[in-house]
Amino acid sequence: MQKIAVVALGGNALLRENEAGTIEQQETNTTETLENLIFLINEGFELVITHGNGPQVGNILMRNDAGQQLYDIAPMPLDVCVADSQGGIGYMIERMIRNVLQKHGIKKNVITLVSMTLIDPNDPAFSNPTKGIGKIYSEKEAKKLQDEKGWIFKPSAKANGGWRRMVSSPQPVDIMNREIIEDLVRAGNIVIAAGGGGIPVYFDENNDLRTLDAVIDKDLASALLATKIKADEFYILTDVSFIYKDFGKPTQEKLEFLNYADTMKYLEAGTFSEGTMAPKIKACLYFIKNGGGKSVITEAKKLEDKSYGSKITMEYDK
């Protein structure tokens, strides 16, 4: 019986902390991560791969700034930068996984899709931008850009006295071309899609596609895609092997087997950090609530060891 798994690659799967971000480093990291997906293929799963783009799109935005300041090159808007990152990262993943498949004697087609994600332009998130993007500016530079471009800036916790451009993070409503993605994966192809959460778009009063400056959570968009294509399992690959209650505190406790109700209780009690694990938990719960069979959060290298990884398996009681 055909099985589908959606696998969301975290940022560390491509670019590790304290690395310069050279293409050689990213290709090595990507290959190491993709090697672990062979286990899922051998288990009979057809794969859809999604990925983050935070560091990469940030670098593209900084190249925007440098090109404008040094050579008067017209900067591209955020949606085009997200599309650029999807194309570049998707190409890298596709090339690396083709090499991994060839190494293991597996014959499969691989295709990368630049994906748009539908959002609601009236989403409350637009009244409170919370996602920092691009470089860190001085307060003077930030205020000048705010006056010139209407961008919103806030002090950055990552740099003393620095300011960063902030954009909204609306909820994903639908993934465009999801029917095509499902057709392709059910035909036995590996599909790379919804990179960076997708390019945020909406339909205006004339039914024309428009965009807004926003960043969509990659894990939530991946869970939505997994639900829409009726995937059986949803994996989030990150830099920890398990979900932990009270991570980093004396009361830290590993949570390996979870059901929907208990996980919701932990989430509502503030057990998981809003900046790191909570969005991943919400994505996993969304998948289970909407008919998914199993959500797993773990490290890529732990996939084959079934004793690792936190699993949310109990279906939502409708």
- Angle, helices 23-35/78-103, rounded to nearest 10 degrees: 50
Q: List the beta strands (DSSP E) in the chain.
A: 3-9, 45-51, 110-112, 116-118, 131-137, 152-155, 163-167, 174-175, 190-192, 199-203, 209-211, 233-238, 243-245, 253-255, 257-258, 294-299, 310-312
Residues 260 and 159 in one domain: no
239 with 195, same domain: the answer is: yes
Q: What is the dihedral of CA 141, 144, 145, 147, to 10 degrees?
A: 160
Residues 154 and 222 in one domain: no
Q: Is residue 216 domain-shared with residue 138, that is, in the same domain? A: no
**Residues 223-252, mean pLDDT to the nearest whole number:** 91
Which one-letter DSSP state was computed for residue 168? B
CA distance 248 to 264: 20
Strand, coil or helix: 210: strand
Domain membership of residue 157 (yes or no) is yes
CATH number, domain of 25, equals 3.40.1160.10
Answer yes or no: do 114 and 141 share one domain: no
Per-residue pLDDT tens digits for 12-46: 788 887 888 899 999 999 999 999 999 999 999 99
Higher pLDDT, 317 or 27: 27
Chain centroid to Cα 272, Å, comes to 18
Q: How confident is the model at residue 300 (pLDDT cuts 50, 70, 90)?
A: confident
Both 149 and 184 in one domain: the answer is no
Q: Which domain holds residue 109?
A: 3-119+175-313
Q: Assess contact for 146 and 152: CB atoms under 8 A.
A: yes
% pLDDT > 90, the chain: 73
* Spatial separation of the C-alpha atoms in residues 275 and 109, rounded to whole Å: 36
Work out the mean pLDDT of the chain and round it to a whole number: 92
Q: Are residues 191 and 240 in the same domain?
A: yes
Split into its structural domains, the chain has a count of: 2
Please spell the DSSP secondary structure of 262-294, one letter per residue: HHHHHHHTT-S-TTTHHHHHHHHHHHHHTT-SE
Listed residues 108, 139, 167: the one ending a domain: 167
Q: Does some domain include residue 16?
A: yes
Q: Is the pLDDT of residue 317 over 60?
A: no
- Please check whether residues 54 and 16 belong to one and the same domain: yes
In a shared domain, residues 140 and 220: no
Q: Are residues 98 and 46 in the same domain?
A: yes
Query: What local confidence, expressed as pLDDT, does residue 302 receive?
Result: 80
User: Is the residue at 30 inside a domain?
Assistant: yes
- Whether 188 and 304 map to the same domain: the answer is yes
Reported as a single tens digit per residue, the pLDDT across 69-120 is 999 999 999 999 999 999 999 999 999 999 999 999 999 999 999 999 999 9
Q: Does residue 318 lie in a domain region?
A: no
Q: How far apart are CA 180 and CA 94, in angstroms?
A: 18
124 in a structural domain: no
CA trace torsion 184, 188, 192, 197 (10° rounding): 60
Which of 57-61, 123-127, 314-318 is modeled with the greatest confidence?
123-127
Give the distance, in angstroms, between the CA of residue 62 and the centroid of all CA atoms in the same chain.
20
Angle at 251 between CA 248 and CA 255, to 5 degrees: 80
Tokens of 119: 């959002």
Q: Catalytic positions, please?
A: 11-12, 131, 218, 280
In a domain, 65, yes or no: yes
User: Does residue 189 contact residue 48 with C-beta atoms inside 8 Å?
Assistant: no
Asked if residue 229 and residue 101 are part of one domain, the reply reads yes
